[in-house]
Amino acid sequence: MNLHGKKVAVLGCGRSGVAAAHLAVARGAAQVRIFDSNPEAVCSDDTVEFIAGAGEKEARDFAANLVVISPGIEADKPWALAFTCAGAPIIGEVELAFRYFSGRIIAITGTNGKTTTTALIEHILLQAGRSAKACGNYGYPFSEVVLQKPQPEFAVLEVSSFQLETVQSFRPEVAVWLNFAPDHMDRYTKVSDYYEAKLHIFENMDESQIAIIRVGEKMPSIRPRITEFSACSGSGLLRYDGTCIKQIDTTVADLKGTALVQAHNAENAMAAILACRAVGLNDDEIISSLANFEPPHHRCEFVAEEGGVLWLNDSKSTNLHSTEAAIRSQTRPIILLIGGKDKGLDYTPLLSTMSGKVKLCVVFGQIAEQLERTFSGAHETVRVQTVSEAVHAAAVRASAGDVVLFSPGTSSFDQYRNYAQRGDDFRRAVQENLHL
């Protein structure tokens, strides 16, 4: 893409927007300006032009030649479309960075597990002596990685549906599809719209490239070669038997004693192994890296074990599928702490997974009343307002041998800035209640 002499409008003043602006400047754009519709927005970098509270008039007056949109902004809404008045195309920050990246790309998408898998692939590559950066929806903005000198050999790119909505020529060497379940229904009108957005990861790939897909995923015909894995099926090139990853009857990796031993993380490990094989690493290089890997925080993270009760922080669970995976991975009786923002999801499908595993539900947040109606007919259910109250309710009811699983199943924005703040609050409340 030749940006020399061009005017570039960047929509959104978050870290990815700032990175896109710097990349456009570095590649010769004549004028780059960041716009945000929020009049109270503050740009973290005062070296780029920035307009807060921009409306459609400011959009039309700028007459951009290219519009780069941040993933949190919907490209088909009037404010974003106003920037295209001079015929400018709209692309996302990932698409912009892709056009200037000279290395190899492993891209990871899925409703759940993206961040752990992205971090693990980066970890394996680094341990094997390769240069790699985790980026995209996790780690650095892709544009920041492109601006590094030298660029790394590998971009390990977590891509969300929001980022994939605005790709055009983006084409990874390896694409990982971990799973799919309904989510983000506060953004998408239909589940099929969310699904179609994610499928863009394969759109420009061909037979020379590899798609790594979980067994049982409903996929249309795609051009890249498919390799499958599964922790809950006997099929796929790699499968899981409860402690070991196997290929046919040969043990590839024993996960006992690692942070990846639970079934949902075993699937992330299988996907990472296949991705790293696909780019040329051998199994010795890959497997030796698993033992010292620590998953990112708030993903079935150990918090405490006191009085025979295990406390796990799965605050990253922002949808039903993630909570379902967390429940299935537990072998102890579960006290489930679930709740948060109303995203328009139906929690009835969770009941079959909970049966025989969940002894008590503690529901909280904006959707607490809905969850109480859904669960109380099948499970003892306690309704509270806050995470702290949920922790206290669990603490006074838990018995030795139980696991208290904080897996909210929805986003945190009714009470918190993000899932990390929510998870930190859970950890603090546990420590206070247990007097640790």
Domains in the chain and their CATH numbers? 7-88 (3.40.50.720), 96-287 (3.40.1190.10), 301-434 (3.90.190.20)
- Residue 350: predicted pLDDT: 94
- Residue 298: predicted pLDDT: 86
Residue 32 contacts residue 43 (beta carbons within 8 Å): no
Identity at 425, one-letter amino acid code: D
Span 148-163, pLDDT tens digits: 999 999 999 999 999 9
Pull the structure tokens for residue 375.
Answer: 């669960």
Could you give the residue ranges of the DSSP H alpha helices within 27-76? 56-62
Span 340-352, pLDDT tens digits: 999 888 999 999 9
- Residue 185: predicted pLDDT: 57
* Nearest of 305, 304, 296 to residue 265 by alpha carbon: 296
Q: What is the signed CA dihedral for 13, 14, 20, 21, rounded to 10 degrees?
A: 30
Residue 310 contacts residue 401 (beta carbons within 8 Å): no
Span 2-31, pLDDT tens digits: 999 999 999 999 999 999 999 999 999 999
- Residue 219: predicted pLDDT: 92
Cα angle 336, 342, 345; round to 5: 75
CA distances to 78, 165, 169, 349, 384 from 157, rounded to whole Å, are 30, 15, 15, 31, 38
- Residue 320: predicted pLDDT: 87
- Residue 295: predicted pLDDT: 85
Q: What is the largest CA-CA distance in the chain?
A: 68
- Residue 186: predicted pLDDT: 65
- Residue 208: predicted pLDDT: 97
Q: What is the mean pLDDT of the chain?
A: 93
Q: Which of 21-30, 129-138, 326-335 is predicted least confidently?
A: 326-335
Phi, psi angles (nearest 5°) of residue 289: -90, -10
Q: Which of 127-131, 153-157, 325-329 is predicted least confidently?
A: 325-329
Phi, psi angles (nearest 5°) of residue 33: -135, 135
Q: How many helices (DSSP H) and strands (DSSP E) are in the chain?
A: 15, 20
SS3 for 154? strand
SS3 for 211? strand
SS3 for 199? helix
Own/partner long-range contacts of 187-190 (Cβ < 8 Å, ≥24 apart): 187/74, 187/162, 188/161
Distance separating alpha carbons of residues 243 and 294, to the nearest angstrom: 17
SS3 for 361? strand
Pull the structure tokens for residue 110.
Answer: 């899925």
Quick one: what percent of the chain has pLDDT higher than 70?
99
The residues pairing with 382 across neighbouring beta strands, listed in sequence order, are 362
Residue 268 contacts residue 260 (beta carbons within 8 Å): yes
Cα angle 17, 23, 27; round to 5: 145
The set of residues, in sequence order, having a beta carbon less than 8 Å from that of 349 and lying 6+ positions away, is: 320
- Mean pLDDT of the region 179-201: 81
- Mean pLDDT of the region 78-106: 97
- As a whole number of Å, the end-to-end CA separation of the chain is 56
Residue 240 contacts residue 260 (beta carbons within 8 Å): no
Span 259-310, pLDDT tens digits: 888 777 899 999 999 999 999 999 999 999 999 998 888 888 888 889 999 9
* Nearest of 262, 312, 247 to residue 113 by alpha carbon: 262
Residue 170 has pLDDT above 90, yes or no: yes
For helices 419-434 and 387-397, the axis angle rounded to 10 degrees is: 40
Which is it for strands 104-109 and 174-177: parallel, antiparallel or unpaired? Answer: parallel
Q: Is the dihedral of CA 255, 259, 264, 269 positive or negative?
A: negative
- Residue 188: predicted pLDDT: 74
- Mean pLDDT of the region 92-100: 98
Span 196-221, pLDDT tens digits: 999 999 999 999 999 999 999 989 99
SS3 percent helix, strand, coil of the chain, rounded to 5, is: 30, 25, 45
Pull the structure tokens for residue 155.
Answer: 């971009």
Cβ count within 10 A of residue 355: 10
Distance separating alpha carbons of residues 199 and 133, to the nearest angstrom: 23
Span 362-408, pLDDT tens digits: 999 999 999 999 999 999 999 999 999 999 999 999 999 999 999 99
Residue 138 contacts residue 12 (beta carbons within 8 Å): no
Cβ count within 10 A of residue 190: 10
Burial of 163 (0-12, 13-18, 19+ CB in 10 A): buried
Pull the structure tokens for residue 296.
Answer: 């990112």
